[in-house]
């Protein structure tokens, strides 16, 4: 459920008409719904009732300060994968002890920052990283609470580019090798191995891969405890999918079903459980709004050319993802629909949001909305073709605010300089 709906024939974000926002900020832009963020967070946390659980929002899904501050205000922690994301989480008001630092390629500088901030947990992904962290922590006189991120060799069944739990993926430590590395960890200065972490991918639409991974982690926890380890935390990652293209008829499991699966697989381990949802919380809490530039008909295709491009929303070009696209002005009942390709202005053939989508008659100046664009939309955007990053707007009831403005050209080039040998 989300809070974008038609009122009197016009798409609204909660109580605000989308054309009203477009008139002020220009197109394209992202728009986030506070009510949807709040609802999704509460639905997920309600599904975990009865468990000693905490939820750390995966900042990589949406790095906007207003989005993160909203979730932190509801009680969320943050899962971060870079020093920059750690700084964003802190700036958004997240307590350091509620931050989990994940990521396969942490630098020494990032590890020092995490230790200086006293983050709640560092997820270690390799033996080399473990030794580096030990050296840094001992030098600072600190003890790092760590989890080893275990790779359970489970295929999540999702898109190949966002599957992270197979042994051929770059992430984590093979689960069969983990016990020996835990034994090494407890001999190292500055290291407290108190947790196990696992994360098998993103946009997962079946509970079976989760359960398979969690059961392997369960076996590991019992094995480690038998070996004298005081494992009291279990980080189960995120990855539960959301519906994107409703024509596909793919319905991911509900948070309630997910919570029941967690309870039957690891609920009796007496561990504090940590979850790191991102897309599930923010995905359909956001839309991208774009204006039709022109309609182009060829002998075989109709192209609806919009002013948003793949630099603004890269998921279709990168993953072959398909977002529902709807007109901001509601289509009258019985209106004739026409098949069209929705494309952007970027000088790449792959700058295509959807092929063969059925749309009502559109003309230049009409607005369209790309649904379920709150996750990995603005966060993955770029300035390719010297196109500025687009504004982000947050709505709450009948109020709205620009929470990231469009930069000027001067700001876009402010970091560049000519070398002295060029006049």
pLDDT digit string, tens, across residues 286-328:
999 999 999 999 999 999 999 999 999 999 999 888 999 999 9
Q: In which domain, by residue range, is 120 found?
A: 103-275
* Predicted structure pTM score: 0.94
Instruction: Read off the CATH number of the domain in which 217 is found.
Output: 3.20.20.10
Q: Which of 275, 307, 338 is the last residue of a domain?
A: 275
C-alpha 191/C-alpha 364 separation (Å) is 61
Peptide bond into 28 cis (omega under 30): yes
For residue 222, CA distances in Å to 54, 186, 191, 225, 227 come to 22, 17, 21, 5, 9
Looking at the fold, whether 238 and 355 belong to one and the same domain comes out as no
- On whether residue 421 sits in a domain, the answer given is no
pLDDT tens-digit map of 167-207: 455 567 887 888 999 999 999 999 999 999 998 887 888 89
- Answer whether residue 362 shows pLDDT above 60: yes
- On whether residue 149 sits in a domain, the answer given is yes
Looking at the fold, whether 190 and 295 belong to one and the same domain comes out as no
Looking at the fold, whether 320 and 259 belong to one and the same domain comes out as no
Looking at the fold, whether 370 and 314 belong to one and the same domain comes out as yes
Looking at the fold, whether 9 and 113 belong to one and the same domain comes out as no
Q: Which of 221, 245, 275 is the last residue of a domain?
A: 275
DSSP H stretches of helix in 118-254:
127-140, 178-185, 207-226
Looking at the fold, whether 304 and 230 belong to one and the same domain comes out as no
Average pLDDT over the chain reads 93
Number of domains in the chain: 2
Instruction: Read off the CATH number of the domain in which 306 is found.
Output: 2.40.37.10
- Answer whether residue 16 shows pLDDT above 50: yes
Looking at the fold, whether 330 and 255 belong to one and the same domain comes out as no
Instruction: Tell me which residue of 74, 30, 61 sits closest to 394, measured CA to CA.
Output: 30
Instruction: Report the range out of 21-25, 149-153, 228-232 with the highest average pLDDT.
Output: 21-25
Looking at the fold, whether 343 and 370 belong to one and the same domain comes out as yes
Q: Which of 275, 310, 339 is the last residue of a domain?
A: 275
Catalytic residues, by residue number, are 347
Average pLDDT over residues 274-292: 97
């Amino acid at each position: 459920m989300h809070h974008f709906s038609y009122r009197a024939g016009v798409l609204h974000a909660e109580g605000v008409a989308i054309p009203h926002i477009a008139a002020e900020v220009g197109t394209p832009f992202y728009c986030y719904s506070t009510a949807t963020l709040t609802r999704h967070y509460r639905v997920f946390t309600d599904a975990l009732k009865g468990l000693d659980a905490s939820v750390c929002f995966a900042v990589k899904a949406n790095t906007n300060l207003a989005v993160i501050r909203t979730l932190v205000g509801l009680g969320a922690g943050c899962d971060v994968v870079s020093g920059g994301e750690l700084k964003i989480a802190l700036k958004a008001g997240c307590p350091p002890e509620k931050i989990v630092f994940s990521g396969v390629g942490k630098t020494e500088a990032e590890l020092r920052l995490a230790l200086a901030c006293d983050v709640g947990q560092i997820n270690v992904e390799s033996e080399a990283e473990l030794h580096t962290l030990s050296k840094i922590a001992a030098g600072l006189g600190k003890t790092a609470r760590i989890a080893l991120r275990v790779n359970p060799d489970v295929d999540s069944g999702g898109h190949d580019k966002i599957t992270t739990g197979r042994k051929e993926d770059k992430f984590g430590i093979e689960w069969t090798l983990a016990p020996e590395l835990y034994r090494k960890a407890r001999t190292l200065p500055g290291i407290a191995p108190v947790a196990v972490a696992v994360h098998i991918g993103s946009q997962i639409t079946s509970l079976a891969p989760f359960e398979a991974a969690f059961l392997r982690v369960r076996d590991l926890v019992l094995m480690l405890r038998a070996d004298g380890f005081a494992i009291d935390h279990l980080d189960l990652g995120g990855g539960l999918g959301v519906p994107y293209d409703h024509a596909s008829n793919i319905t991911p499991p509900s948070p309630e079903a997910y919570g029941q699966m967690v309870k039957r697989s690891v609920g009796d381990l007496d561990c504090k459980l940590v979850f790191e949802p991102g897309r599930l919380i923010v995905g359909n809490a956001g839309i991208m709004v774009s204006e039709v530039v022109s309609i182009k008909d060829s002998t075989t295709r109709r192209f609806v050319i919009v002013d948003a491009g793949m630099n603004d929303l890269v998921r279709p070009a990168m993953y072959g993802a398909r977002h529902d696209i709807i007109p901001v002005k509601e289509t009258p009942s019985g209106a004739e629909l026409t098949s069209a390709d929705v494309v952007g202005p970027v000088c790449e053939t792959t700058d295509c949001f959807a092929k063969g989508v059925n749309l009502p008659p559109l003309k230049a100046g009409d607005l369209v909305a790309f649904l379920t664009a709150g996750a990995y939309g603005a966060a993955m955007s770029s300035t390719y073709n010297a196109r500025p990053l687009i504004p982000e707007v947050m709505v709450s009831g009948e109020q709205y605010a620009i929470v990231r403005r469009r930069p000027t050209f001067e700001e876009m080039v402010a970091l560049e300089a000519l070398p002295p040998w060029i006049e």
